[in-house]
Amino acid sequence: MGGDNAPASVVEGAVLAARGEPIDLILVGDQTAVSAELARHAPASNIRVVHAPTTVGMEESPALVVRRRRDSSIWRATELVAHGDAQAVVSAGHTGASMATAFFLLGTLQGVERPAIATILPTLHGNAVLLDVGATVDSKPQHLVQFAIMGQVYAQRMLSKPSPRVGLLSIGEEDTKGNELTKEAFKLLKQSAVNFIGNVEGRDVYTGDADVIVCDGFIGNVALKISEGLAEAIMQVLRREITQSIGGRVGFLLLRPAFRRFKRRVDYAEYGGAPLLGINGVSIICHGRSSPKAIMNAVRVARDFVVGQVNRHIREDLDRHMAGPVRN
């Protein structure tokens, strides 16, 4: 029921994800609305509907959702995971509600102090993982070290990077640059077994020099949203400039395939949802504006997360980190 174009986009995305794949999907939400959407597509034996009478609104506080909205679609869907009736929950609704419900119903993996949302960024040389992009603000240095370990596992298991390079987002390359948080985290990361390449500046995020970029959730959220806003502004200005002349319009027609390839490369929909790492279960958070394709890819992220046993590997790597000894 979540997202700007729900339930239509979500149902269509689920249908696309279920088609021909050995996967069982449960659509949680208003039975009538969801079934009506579902009826618009070819019948799929591996999709069923579970009723949830209410939906969380975008303006509701996550704390209230946990206390009072246990009949909502996000609560019911997460409950299915908590009870072992599903292996993952995917939502394009209220991010705070998804996080709070997952935190409350599933809890954190043993040893994890704070969860982190990991997003995938397209760079000039392959993809990179940026985390945290909004689960934990005002984080402590040791949280960033845990994010680094979780991000490393995610890059290994989901992006097929056997030894990802982990960078710390800061404002200068030297270890003495940064704020109190990053300077302390730098020291801890240096001593850890993480494949730490040092500080990464904002301008190096999109070069692909780091495979995993670690930061506080406030910073990561600003970085992600400003990137979205800038990319949109650039395309808008470019389009405006281009369509100002006939030559431009003809040129634009000739360039359309290039623009399309470009869009596919940077389109968030290609990368699907962002997992909430550190949770004792699988919760995938989608953009509110998710297209059916983005939902389909988010379901695939959920499947790969389960199949790749990301959580087991996170637990093992964290255990190893806690036990020491240290590499460098």
Q: Provide the binding-site residues for a second copy, judged by CB under 8 A.
A: 61, 123-124, 134, 137-138, 169-171, 176, 178-180, 182, 201-207, 215-219, 221-234, 236-238, 241-242, 244-245, 247-248, 250-255, 257-259, 261-262, 265-266
Whether 25 and 18 have beta carbons less than 8 Å apart is answered as yes
Nearer to a second copy, 46 or 227 (CB): 227
CA–CA separation, 184 and 269 (whole Å): 36
Q: How far is the CB of 181 from a second copy (least distance, A)?
A: 8
DSSP element (H, E) containing 192 = none
Shortest distance (Å) from residue 219 CB to a second copy: 6
Closest-CA residue to 94 (of 72, 112, 113, 120) = 72
| 97 three-state secondary structure | helix
What is the spatial distance between Cα 155 and Cα 48, in angstroms, rounded to a whole number? 32
Q: Are 81 and 105 in contact (CB under 8 A)?
A: yes
- The residue (of 137 and 322) whose beta carbon lies closer to a second copy is 137
To a second copy, the closest distance from the beta carbon of 218 in angstroms equals 4
Distance CA 73, CA 91 (A): 10
Smaller CB separation from a second copy, 48 or 225: 225
Question: Closer to a second copy at the Cβ: 229 or 324?
Answer: 229
Q: Which of 321, 325, 31, 317 is nearest to 155 (CA)?
A: 317
Q: Which are the contacts of 193, defined by CB distance < 8 A and separation ≥ 6?
A: 320, 321, 326, 327
Nearer to a second copy, 36 or 238 (CB): 238
- Pick between residue 125 and residue 312 the one whose CB is nearest to a second copy: 125
CB of 282 to a second copy, least distance (A): 24
Minimum gap (Å) between residue 10 Cβ and a second copy = 22
Q: Write down the least CB distance from residue 208 to a second copy, Å.
A: 9
- Answer yes or no: are the C-beta atoms of 288 and 56 closer than 8 Å: no
Q: Which is nearer to a second copy, 254 or 323 (CB)?
A: 254
For the beta carbon of residue 70, count every other beta carbon within 10 angstroms.
14
CB of 230 to a second copy, least distance (A): 5
Q: Where are the beta strands (DSSP E) in the chain?
A: 25-29, 47-51, 89-91, 116-123, 126-131, 166-170, 196-201, 212-214, 274-277, 283-285
Q: Report in angstroms how near the CB of residue 165 gets to a second copy at its nearest.
A: 17
Residue number, 220 or 273, with CB nearest to a second copy: 220
